[in-house]
Amino acid sequence: MTPILEAQNVEFAYSAGAPVVRGVSLRVNPGKLCALIGANGCGKSTLIRLFAGLLAPAKGEILFGGARLRSIPRREAARQIAYVPQAIAMVFPFTVLEVVLTGRSPYTARFRFEDESDRERAMGALARVDAAHLAARRVTELSGGERQMVAVARALAQQPQCVLLDEPSAALDLKHRAALVRTLATLRDSQGLTAFVVTHDLHLIDPLFDYVFALRCGALEAEGPPTEILTDRVLARVYDDPHVRARRVEGRTLIWSN
Amino acid sequence: MESTAKPVLAGVRIWRILLILTILLAVLMVLGLGIGSRTIDLSQLRSDPVARIVFFRLRLPRVLMAALIGSSLALVGAALQALFRNPLADPATLGVSGGGAVGASIAIALGWGERVSGVPLVFVTAFCGALAAFLLVHRISRAGPLLLPGALLLGGVVVNLIASAAVLTIQYVTDPTRAIQILRWMIGSLDVVGFDIVWRMLIFLVPSWLVLLAFSRDLHLLAMGEDTAASLGVNVKRCEIVIHLVCSLLVAVTVAVGGAIAFVGLIVPHMVRLIFGEDLRIVLPGSLLLGAAFLIAADMVARTALSPLELPVGAVTALLGGPVFLWLLHRRQRYSAL
């Protein structure tokens, strides 16, 4: 099977600093829900930004569907890959609908505005993340969690094959965290969506995620199904913390550090 | 409070908004043409040769000039606010006008009245100054993928201070006639005789407007964040380069002709935003039209408030714009991350 996303020996450094991503090779198969985990500053966000095409690797190559990501026209790539950034700081008081409608821009010609069908898709995307009631609100008035849901809705309005989410659950409450993962799993099962999620929220991963990649100091430390990665031994290595414990309880993995 | 009202799509609203603003502009143009040290009506144009001269040689070029400068400055302000994601950005606050002023002062002080292939040299030097200031401020405010709003405005303040010191020094060392010329020009004036300069400006301004309007969708996406725009297919680098060049050109031409007319670029886009919403695809063309109307109105105030004494239009816009700027600062909680 051709992977939908692939990193081939990718290296990246910000300006003249030490490399943040060091020789990472990984393959994300289509229709899978994948997590990227690792300690703070280990290069997770940089790697996801490389996959989103926001950064260009210094060495190696990022492939999308077997083609070099850099060779795919930007708007074409935007129809295939959606990216939800970590922090959604909005300066201007756009309405939520205006924000989500921008997800339709890769499909809209330069001098055209979105039409009714775009509005329906945007509203549908908002409904998927349980935020349709926010449509007319100013995005600057929303809580961090609500903004996060709006950003996810925009990504869904893009109707991508693959969605990249950078810590999407960071500002979400318990209910919405679980709901977000369920939504991604539903879209995976019904539409074959691939999701690549950077997360510190290890409890989210098991049982709905298919695969986990673990970074340590910019390099790929481990990869495999959640049950293989979410173990004392692997997590202790990934987080440099011998006190991490992972136990299976009622079909899912609980993780804590003593 | 949660609203269930269905917002009207921008594509539906824009035509109504542009029609309203066009009518407003037309009304102000007619008023601007009629009002002045002497009131002129249509019947006089047929019978009175003096009225005809005043109308066609002075009044009409002046109103057109106000419209061109007002729309250009407002459009630049709207574009800069989106590009820098900063509601306080405008050619004056970012030091771009200051840079242009230094360039123009050098040309005036050295008596470079000549033209290079039909382009007044003062346009060229003002363009170089504006672009240099623009690049400098942008460079200072950038930290990797982030734009630091504080550094941007502080950078603009410092560039402005350097620019005004440079202009003062130029005035000090040049001969008194040219120093007065620089002073008069710096205050900002729309005094113009005939259409020569108006045509010359149009050649530069209209293509620049069209380029900025063509980028309004990209700016709309950029206003929501650089990563967001890039992930939605915007070529951010190319967009930045184009906006830098085009805005520098617009500021240079308006500064070189009308002097440093402050605050139009700041307050007009905010008026459009407050009335018609945040969508940049509306804010840009809306600012173009309202900017023209605003400067025509400010010029009418300048010509008539203390008639027969004529106030410099730059002073009127600053006196109106200054308080609005302060009010915006006071209300900045409307804008987060500032």
What are A166-199's pLDDT values in tens digits? 998 888 888 888 899 999 999 999 999 999 999 9
Q: Note whether B333 contacts A: Cβ–Cβ < 8 A.
A: no
What single letter denotes the amino acid at residue B117? S
What single letter denotes the amino acid at residue B75? L
Domain that holds residue B47: 17-332
**pLDDT for res B333:** 52
Average pLDDT value for chain A? 92
**pLDDT for res B1:** 42
**In total, how many domains does chain B have?**
1
**pLDDT for res B140:** 85
**pLDDT for res B138:** 86
**pLDDT for res B3:** 45
Q: Token match 């205006």: residue?
A: A98
The domain spanning residue A81 has which CATH number? 3.40.50.300
Q: Note whether A198 contacts B: Cβ–Cβ < 8 A.
A: no
Q: Determine, yes or no, domain membership for B11.
A: no
Tens-level pLDDT at each residue, chain B (338 residues): 444 456 678 888 899 999 999 999 999 999 998 887 777 777 777 788 888 888 888 889 999 999 999 999 999 999 999 998 988 888 888 888 889 889 988 888 887 766 655 567 888 888 899 999 988 988 888 876 677 877 888 888 899 899 989 999 998 898 888 888 788 777 667 777 778 888 888 999 999 999 999 999 999 999 999 899 999 999 999 999 999 899 989 998 888 888 878 789 988 998 898 888 899 999 999 999 999 999 999 999 988 888 778 888 888 888 877 787 677 667 655 554 44
Q: Please say if the pLDDT value at position A15 is more than 80.
A: no
B225/A113 CB distance under 8 A: no
SS3 B89: coil
Q: Determine, yes or no, domain membership for B93.
A: yes
B9/A119 CB distance under 8 A: yes
Nearest CB partner across the interface for A97, out of B7, B214, B217: B7
- Please report the beta strands in B159-272, taking only residues with DSSP state E, as ranges in sequence order: none
Exposure string of A208-233, with b = 16+ CB inside 10 Å and e = fewer, is bbbbbbbbbebbbbbbeebeebbbee
ipTM exceeding the 0.90 mark: yes
**In total, how many domains does chain A have?**
1
B217/A89 CB distance under 8 A: no
DSSP-assigned beta bridge partners for residue B287: none
Q: For residue range A105-134, what is the model confidence (pLDDT) as tens digits? A: 999 988 889 999 999 999 999 999 999 999
What are the C-alpha distances in Å from A232 to residues A222, B165, B237? 13, 66, 45
What secondary structure letter does DSSP report for B36? S
By the 8 A CB rule, do A124 and A166 touch? no
CB < 8 Å to B233, chain A: 74-78, 105-106
Q: For residue range A193-224, what is the model confidence (pLDDT) as tens digits? A: 999 999 998 988 888 999 999 999 999 999 99
pTM over 0.95: no
d(CA B165, CA B119): 27
Q: Token match 């509203």: residue?
A: A123
Q: Please say if the pLDDT value at position A42 is more than 90.
A: yes
Could you give the dihedral angle defined by the CA atoms of residues A36, A39, A42 and A48, in that order, rounded to the nearest 10 degrees?
Answer: 30
By the 8 A CB rule, do B26 and B159 touch? no
**pLDDT for res B262:** 79
Q: Note whether A156 contacts B: Cβ–Cβ < 8 A.
A: no
Exposure string of A40-49, with b = 16+ CB inside 10 Å and e = fewer, is eebbbbbbbb
- Number of A/B CB contacts below 8 angstroms equals 120
d(CA B292, CA A88): 35
The domain spanning residue B125 has which CATH number? 1.10.3470.10
Domain that holds residue A108: 5-257
Nearest CB partner across the interface for A91, out of B4, B12, B335: B335
Q: Which residue has the higher pLDDT, B7 or A160?
A: A160
**pLDDT for res B209:** 97
Instruction: Give the closest residue to A241 by CA, choosing from A206, A202, A205, A212.
Output: A202
B228/A95 CB distance under 8 A: no
